Amino acid sequence: MSLVQIETKALTGRKYWRSLNELSGTPAFREWMVNEFPGGAELLDGASRRNVLKLMAASFGLAGLAACRRPEGKIVPLSRGVEDLIPGKSYYYNTVFTQGGSAVGLTVEAHDGRPTKIEGNRNHPQSLGASNGYAQASVLNIYDPDRSAEVLKGGQVSSWAEWDQFASQKFTAGSLGRGAGLRIVSESVVSPSLSEVRKSLLAKYPEAKWVEYEPFSNENAIAGTRLVFGQPLQAHYHYDKADVVLSLDADFLGIDSGSPLSTKKFSKKRRSAKPEDEINRLYVVESQFSVTGAMADHRIRSKASDIDSFASALARELGILSELNVLGSADKVQKILMALVRDLKKNAGKSVVIAGPRQSARVHALALMINQALGNIGTTVTFTQPLASPEAKAFADLVGELNAGSVDTLVVLGSNPVFTAPVSLKFSDALKRAKTVVHLGAEKDETAVLSSWHLPLASYLESWGDARSVDGTVSIQQPLILPLNNGRSALELTAQIAGYKDQKGYEIVRNYWTSQWPAAEQEARFRKALHDGVLAGTAFAEVKVSADPKRVALPAATAKSTQVEVVFVPSWSVYDGRYTNNAWLQEAPDPMTKLVWDNAALISKATADKLKVVDGQILKITVGGQSLEIAAMVQPGQADDSITIAAGFGRKQIGRVGQGTGFNAFEIRVSGDAIQFASDVSNTGKTYQLVTTQEFHSMTEPKLMDAIEPKTRPIVREATVEEYRHHPDFAPHMVHAPDDSIYGWFDYSEGNQWGMTIDLNSCIGCNACIIACQSENNVPVIGKEEVSYGRSMHWIRLDRYYTGDAEDPQAVIQPLSCQQCEAAPCESVCPVAATTHTPEGLNDMTYNRCVGTRYCANNCPYKVRRFNFLNYHKEMVDIEKMVSNPNVSVRMRGVMEKCTYCVQRIQEAKIKAKVEGRRGELLKDGDITTACQQVCAADAIVFGNINDPESRVSQEKKQPRNYALLAEVNTRPRTTYLAKLRNPNPELVEHHG
Amino acid sequence: MADFALNPEMVDKVTPRLVKGNSTYKSVTDDVSRIVETKTPREWWIAFSLSVAVALMMVGMLAYLVAFGIGTWGNNSPVGWAWDITNFVWWIGIGHAGTLISAILFLFRQKWRTSINRAAEAMTLFAVAAAAQYPLFHTGRPWRAIYWLFPVPNTDLNMWQNYRSPLEWDVFAVSTYGTVSLLFWYVGLIPDLATLRDRASGVRAYIYGIFSLGWRGAARHWRHYEMAYMILAGLSTPLVLSVHTIVSFDFAVSILPGWHTTIFPPYFVAGAIFSGFAMVITLMTVARWALKLEHLITIKHLENMCKVILATGMIVGYAYGTEFFIAWYSGNPYELFTFVNRAFGPYWWAYWSMISCNVLVPQIFWFKKCRTSVPIMFIASIFINIGMWFERFVIIATSLHRDYLPGSWGYFKPTMVDICTFIGTMGLFMTLFLLFIRFLPVIAISEVKGVLAQEDQVAKHGHGAHH
Amino acid sequence: MSQQQIHGVAAAFNSPEALLHAAKEVRKQGFSKVEAYTPFPIHGIDDVLGIPPSRLGYFVIVGGLTGTTLALLLQWWTGAGDPNSIPAWTALVPYPLVIGGKPLFAFEPSIPITFELTVLLSAFTTVFGMIGLNKLPRFYHPVFNFKNSPRITDDQFVLVIENTDPKFDAHEATRLFQNLHADAVEMIEE
Amino acid sequence: MPIFSKKHDLIARALAAFVAVGALSGIAAYTYFSHPKVIDVGYQPKQPVPYSHKLHAGDLGMDCRYCHNTVEKAAFAAIPPTETCMNCHAQVKPESPYLQPVRDSYATGKPVEWLKIHQLPDYVFFNHSAHVTAGVSCVSCHGRVDQMIEVKQVEPLSMGWCLECHRNPAANIRPAELVTNLAWQPDRDPAEIGREIIAQKKIAPPVNCSGCHR
């Protein structure tokens, strides 16, 4: 195991900028510059000015010939070689990533000791090779120049030595006695070795308490199982066995899923290989438009607080409840409900009803009882013991103890409760009553500044540990680099406090596991665990349960409220605030709103009209006496009288990236509940610039002229399963494609020919491909202001269109990257031949030849080419550059860039084949996966050799619903789409004419 | 015919004389040379300082642009071209009138061209100089573009240009156009430079002497000279038509709705002539007044130009109509939307500005009163210049901002750098033009004398009397 | 002043008609080496002085065709030539690249550049041909010694009987011009 | 009096000729001197350690891959860690003052900072393993390193130069096991041998852009 230590101090000197507003120098002039010359104010930055001079000298100056020689370069080999390490080659290590109590196994690519790219671990049951956006972007966090890198004592710079000195005195029986005054707050503990160390800590201080706290937890789900089965359980939903899925406010394909597994399973059942195939049917009842809602065949727009009534009504119809149907009069909903009941009954044992984490224990219990009634328990819904159970009450009790003054020492491990705690608890005030507060965190965050000691936290890529995923499978968390910020892990700090026998992360983890194995096998088994990324046989056994509905004591249903509800959800980009300083995630547009660098109060059009508010105006929302001013955004599909706010934005103690982004939802999250009611919502009349990456949201043209009826463009092609069976080739037949050339087509019948299909029916629009591509291809981050000009740089974008009713639409999502047209319009217009075609059908983009006329982008009908309007990379702090993929050129200003099907991976595979003596042979599936394909949990993206009839991409292209986007323009794209299918309940299909 | 010996007054009534007053060879020489030879007036210095200041602003803006990138302009994705190419096409279009007046009217033996052709050709050159800023500086890396766009033999890269690209055609067309215009202008200047040489003394005589190449007006020289001038006129005529045709190919060869259309070449050429004549009027109405050349640049000249404007304005208006009709008639939904979007989409104001200035304003030239009123034609010409700028903006920005996939639609807003760069090119143009009227004969002296000689003959012997 | 140092005898007239008339007379007297210097081209003077039509047009055709050929060669060779067929030092190694699925060379997209280069080379030939045929630049010429010569570019029409004329006789020429009512007559130095 | 005398005409002509000749030779000189062949070929910086390739690779006959051990496996031909030097020099010439930097490096762990001679721009992705396994010898790009006391650049490493071989590789292809034999002199035409190997191994070097630029 080799680790490379990198001196970080030297790397964090330069300035990173997110928006030009931040570049403040002489205020008045600078302000003028920013206002008058958007996009150009970095002129005033000292470093840039030097660059200008250099550039001027290089381009205009008549430099002597001697100066023409390239600058002196150095080769600095290691003093002592590292066994098996080949410089410049990428290495892969398995590790595990934990967030919000769920762990996903990963395979991390490292270049010369720098982790650069995250992939899912194929061996891990929660990943199966896929991963999500957070995991993808987490690699950027370790190179965050604003990450906490110093021990702080009372806000002053201290050192680990001083801390160790302090700890050796503090954490002794002499000082803490039986630990009555010691309280530890952590995130969900899913690490077996940390549990072990915790055990020893609590043994040493029997009166100490350890509280797990998560702002977004699965507490209600577990409470639901307790209600129904009398014991806390973790439910597992097997969408791959379900023909009908009902989601009660569960965004199980999106934000409510900690792992890619549910998407993997769901898409398995969603996939259609031929017209006869049956696909599943998804019903979603929800308040905000989630990606799960976008996949739904039937989506019911409902206030989140009304979903209890819906669940009750459903239970009553299924004979579980005897209460009256309180659903009310909404005919449409009633009609869907009755059809749903019949559909569920028909598919008894082959359906899943799942409630979302924001719903109460009662709704979860109802969902479980419905599953029980349908015979789903044990088939599509199984249970294991729960992993961790953070309870809001335990945290509230802790605050009580703090306020009572009975807590002497509070240790906060790796979370930021001052920011995330329910505001009514006044945690920040309570915190001050503890004599000593120790905070171990990755950032100098809100909790850090109130603590007596702040200790830098080592990331999961920098420290040893382990983690259990929800199904019980254990993975060893294997570091790829020594802590860049000189941090320690929660495991190590706990061991220090507990006086555990081992103090180093590696020893703790290794000894914990090997001590359970026979001595002879220890080394081999540990090595295997590291190699595989999973510890075989650690999955929990299924707990067989059955409930007797009559004995379930359901809490009373909450009455419907006419008040405006506020629903708090974790953000797609920053989760609970832990990624607020992560530029990749900030810049990835929210899948549905397409909002970047901000959150907003999402409201329906009707609610907006009622409040007399338009997009970008600031609302004042008051909940339980606390109020928040937040920009409003009208979101189609949002339930009336329901406001959804993504949490995690609006942080005050934050680095340069997250500074000034969004609004802090936690300011009005009075209690721990996700759904609360606003006592007052009013328009302040103030405005705020919300920036989205998409300005027009329909495939139907806007109506501009009375005489001309707007047309709907055949972009995302969609049919019901029924229609598909009648017209299997409906998609290609939606337009007339000429497929003709005055010159004749170029011959691409020989050798490898690259192609791609994107199954619009599988794609859920989760953004993971955007971030994977960004990470793989060194795609720059440009900041809110640049995005607002329309200069987004993502090589793959997700176009989201609404169809149907303006207030209650359906949504379709289409990933769009370079289509690698055989008759590429971009190529023929480039005056310097910077974009050309390879014999393998790739549309090459030669950055170093490009002079930046932008003609190619203008002539691209898909608008997938991206131009470096400013020097986006130049302003990166050196340490952040360490995240770059060395196999891809970093593009300078003035150069066009775009997707190349990850040509660096293609070339790497080809060279590998050559070195292995397979010259001239066709490459097979598996030799190359593109970054977007690899990350895709839905397996919607398939890349491969279209000259190989066995390849998956060839197979997919043979499907009748395969179509080329804009085939009518005769570009002959290599990327084709598989049309989207919907599977509506035949009872609910309205037949026209 | 000789029987109808007409007196000069009668001749003037039938075909108004192109040279007014009691002009003689001597007076023509004096009147034109005097502008160059008298002490530089204060007004010129004021105008010149102002122009230079504005031109320097352009230089500053371009330096800023080169230093920081195209992002200092408002261009974005999808609107990759905006003010840059709009301004380029506008300036190139303006240049066309000069070549047209000097070449095409020469071939058609339109004698009225002689008083204005020199200044119009100069305008061509300076407009091309202003336009030429954009093809270079609109690129993201002009320091590369400046030599990668030309077929320079190279051993280190082995790279050549892509000759399928309309932008590469543009490189050839614009540089050829600039070069040939310069040659044409210079050839025309040679005898007049000799005139100035012969009147000057000291350093000025040397300078004019060097540039006039030792011209001595020998009959054997005039023989080659006239042949050369005619060939150049013959070459320039198709050239000027080709230049805007090729500029229009930048759009017509693309696949963008609103760009991909076969009507563009004639439409662009007509538009170029239209805007060019408007600019000639703008400049000449001011110049003839300021330089007191009303007897050489007569109302007759201006009226003829107004007629050309009326005609080309109607061609342009017809093209606008045809575009719309074809968009509907072709049944291409993308095309139709693009045109409806031009007129009624977010850029409706640009479209209707274009229609008002280019189609409605020239209609006043149906009236002789308007054609012969200098203030009216001056104001109208300004409107036409604005309208033609909007035409290019409408074609470029509105087609780009909403094309095939609504998910990629956007909107363009200019920045201060966009605006200042454009204003700066006007400074460059004016600077060059002011230098021109200060140091070079604004009217083709020898040509006017040739016309004068013929008119004298007419006056003496009546129509068609000679030969 | 010996005959060898004399370029010829110059006479100035004040109108094209007078010049034409004088030229006809001079030619009638059998002088062949006669040159006229005028502020603008005088219609008919070529015939009178026996100056043959300009050959410039032929040069231009050759120049133009060279442009056409060069343009087609450039576009064909750099895009579709065989890179192995030419040594690298020529700096003319072509690079055939597939662009937009189009053929390496096609006539249609080559038209604009071919046209432009034809015009460009034609124009160069025209201008430099004219300058060359006129043997310009020539800053010194004997005719500039004529005291009326600065007015050649203004309003004087000058006729010169040159020394090289076999019939040249300075006195006779002077007398002839005086008879033709020239404004000024002068023997001019070589 | 004329403005210009006869003398002026002569001066003018001489000046014109001078300018024309000057401009032409200027262009020629610039073209020549700015070419990588002139700028880069012959680059021979002073290295921190006076290491002689001639002694090691030539006279002692050490294989290139003893030090540059990753050349068949990776894109980058590794520069050996100090450790590799010390394998021998712990015994051989352990006291030599020339080896002081090496011993220092070994003792302190601080690397020896060698100067890079064969430098490609960052946007060029050259892969040693792909070339070496195809049978392109070290000598094709690096010259007779076994005869250089101090290494210098002998080839321009320009794009045109790369393409020459990519288009017509036969002359530079030899049996893969002979790539480090810099002095190899086959008894028949090397290009013929190259052609045979090309046919047998199906060597088809890319000439499209993404072959080298990514």
ipTM, two decimals, is 0.92
D42 at A interface, C-beta within 8 A: no
- Tens-place pLDDT, residues A628-685: 999 999 999 999 999 999 999 999 999 888 988 999 999 999 988 899 999 999 999 9
DSSP letters along B337-388, please? Answer: HHHHHHHHSTTHHHHHHHHIIIIIGGGGGGSHHHHH-HHHHHHHHHHHHHHH
CB contact under 8 A, C36 and B450: no
B433 contacts B125 by C-beta, under 8 angstroms: no
C52 at A interface, C-beta within 8 A: no
* Cα B151–chain centre separation: 28
- Tens-place pLDDT, residues A103-143: 999 999 998 888 999 999 999 999 999 998 999 999 999 99
CB contact under 8 A, C102 and A836: no
Residue of A nearest to B151 (CA): A832
CB-nearest partner of D167 from C84, C144, C149: C84
- Tens-place pLDDT, residues A258-274: 889 999 999 999 999 99
Interface size between C and D, measured as CB pairs under 8 A:
35
CB-nearest partner of A699 from B149, B168, B406: B406
Neighbours of chain A (3+ CB pairs under 8 A): B, C, D
Residue bearing the bigger pLDDT, A98 or C90: A98
| Cα A163 to Cα D205: distance, rounded to the nearest angstrom | 60
Q: What six digits make up the tokens of A871?
A: 């020097």
Kindly tell me if the per-residue pLDDT of A302 is higher than 80: yes
Q: What six digits make up the tokens of A952?
A: 């998956």
CB contact under 8 A, A833 and B161: yes
DSSP letters along A622-652, please? Answer: EETTEEEEEEEEE-TTPPTTEEEEEES---S
CB-nearest partner of A790 from B69, B139, B410: B410
Specify the amino acid at residue D11. I
Residue D203 main-chain phi, psi, to 5 deg: -80, 125
CB contact under 8 A, B340 and A704: yes
Query: Predicted confidence band at A754 (pLDDT cuts at 50, 70, 90)?
Result: very high
D127 at A interface, C-beta within 8 A: yes
Kindly tell me if the per-residue pLDDT of A328 is higher than 70: no
- pLDDT at residue number B2: 37
| Cα A646 to Cα A631: distance, rounded to the nearest angstrom | 12
Kindly tell me if the per-residue pLDDT of D17 is higher than 50: yes
CB contact under 8 A, A836 and D209: yes
- pLDDT at residue number B115: 81
Collect all residues of chain A within an 8 Å Cβ-Cβ radius of residue D78.
77, 86-87
Interface size between A and D, measured as CB pairs under 8 A:
145
- pLDDT at residue number B17: 55
B214 at D interface, C-beta within 8 A: yes
- pLDDT at residue number A41: 35
Kindly tell me if the per-residue pLDDT of A960 is higher than 50: yes
- Tell me the pTM: 0.91
Query: Predicted confidence band at A301 (pLDDT cuts at 50, 70, 90)?
Result: very high
Q: What six digits make up the tokens of B254?
A: 């693309």
CB contact under 8 A, B157 and D159: yes
C41 at A interface, C-beta within 8 A: no
CB contact under 8 A, A867 and B77: yes
Residue of C nearest to A844 (CA): C99
Q: Which residues 145-174 in chain C show a CB within 8 A of chain D?
A: 145, 149
- Tens-place pLDDT, residues A413-467: 988 999 999 999 999 999 999 999 999 999 999 999 999 999 999 999 999 999 9
CB-nearest partner of B410 from A60, A695, A698: A695
CB contact under 8 A, A861 and B255: yes
Average pLDDT, chain C: 91
Collect all residues of chain C within an 8 Å Cβ-Cβ radius of residue B225.
41, 130, 134
* Cα B452–chain centre separation: 27
Collect all residues of chain B within an 8 Å Cβ-Cβ radius of residue A715.
405-407
A446 contacts A416 by C-beta, under 8 angstroms: yes
Kindly tell me if the per-residue pLDDT of A583 is higher than 90: yes
Report percent pLDDT > 70 for chain A. Answer: 92
A356 contacts A590 by C-beta, under 8 angstroms: no
For residue A821, the SS3 value is: strand
C98 contacts A836 by C-beta, under 8 angstroms: yes
- pLDDT at residue number B294: 86
Mutate: best of D1, D3, D7, D15, partner B, most B CBs <10 A:
D3
A424 contacts A624 by C-beta, under 8 angstroms: yes
| Cα A761 to Cα B433: distance, rounded to the nearest angstrom | 64
Collect all residues of chain D within an 8 Å Cβ-Cβ radius of residue A887.
125, 214
Interface size between A and B, measured as CB pairs under 8 A:
225
Q: What six digits make up the tokens of B36?
A: 């160059």
Collect all residues of chain C within an 8 Å Cβ-Cβ radius of residue B222.
38, 40-42, 45
Residue bearing the bigger pLDDT, B463 or D192: D192
Given a cut of 50, the residues of chain B with pLDDT beneath it are 1-16, 463-467
CB contact under 8 A, C101 and A825: no
Neighbours of chain D (3+ CB pairs under 8 A): A, B, C
CB-nearest partner of B165 from A39, A828, A862: A828
CB contact under 8 A, B156 and D36: yes
In sequence order, what E strands does A343-459 have?
351-355, 381-384, 409-413, 436-441, 453-456
- pLDDT at residue number C41: 93
D6 at C interface, C-beta within 8 A: yes
> Could you identify the residue written with the tokens 């501009």?
A704
Residues in chain C: 190
For residue A228, the SS3 value is: helix
Query: Predicted confidence band at A870 (pLDDT cuts at 50, 70, 90)?
Result: very high
Collect all residues of chain C within an 8 Å Cβ-Cβ radius of residue D35.
none
CB-nearest partner of C35 from B184, B210, B219: B219
CB-nearest partner of A914 from D81, D108, D133: D133
Q: ω before B266 within 30° of 0 (cis)?
A: no
Residues 6+ apart with CB under 8 A from B87: B131, B134, B389, B392, B421, B422, B425
Half-sphere exposure at residue A717, Cβ-oriented, CA atoms within 13 angstroms: 26
- Tens-place pLDDT, residues A897-954: 999 999 999 999 999 999 998 888 889 998 999 999 999 999 999 999 999 999 999 9
| Cα A219 to Cα A434: distance, rounded to the nearest angstrom | 27
- pLDDT at residue number A737: 84
CB contact under 8 A, B66 and A59: yes
- pLDDT at residue number A42: 37
Neighbours of chain B (3+ CB pairs under 8 A): A, C, D
Query: Predicted confidence band at C47 (pLDDT cuts at 50, 70, 90)?
Result: very high
A270 contacts A762 by C-beta, under 8 angstroms: yes
- Tens-place pLDDT, residues A212-239: 999 998 899 999 999 999 999 999 999 9
Average pLDDT, chain D: 90
Closest Cα to residue A279, out of A287, A271, A291, A290?
Answer: A271
CB-nearest partner of A705 from B254, B256, B344: B344
- pLDDT at residue number B345: 92
The three-state (H, E, C) secondary structure of A320-341, written as one string: CCCCCCCCCCCHHHHHHHHHHH
Q: ω before C39 within 30° of 0 (cis)?
A: no
Collect all residues of chain D within an 8 Å Cβ-Cβ radius of residue A920.
201-202, 204
Interface size between A and C, measured as CB pairs under 8 A:
40
- pLDDT at residue number A932: 95
CB-nearest partner of D3 from B154, B155, B206: B206
Mutate: best of D19, D34, D163, partner C, most C CBs <10 A:
D163
CB contact under 8 A, B404 and A870: no
Work out the average pLDDT over D178-182.
92
Kindly tell me if the per-residue pLDDT of A494 is higher than 90: yes
Closest Cα to residue B189, out of B278, B90, B122, B104?
Answer: B122
CB-nearest partner of C134 from B164, B172, B224: B224
Sign, Cα dihedral of B453, B454, B460, B465: positive
A643 contacts A567 by C-beta, under 8 angstroms: yes
Mutate: best of C97, C107, C108, partner A, most A CBs <10 A:
C97
Query: Predicted confidence band at D1 (pLDDT cuts at 50, 70, 90)?
Result: low
Closest Cα to residue A910, out of C50, D203, B431, B241?
Answer: D203
Q: What six digits make up the tokens of B94?
A: 């303006």
Work out the average pLDDT over C56-65.
96
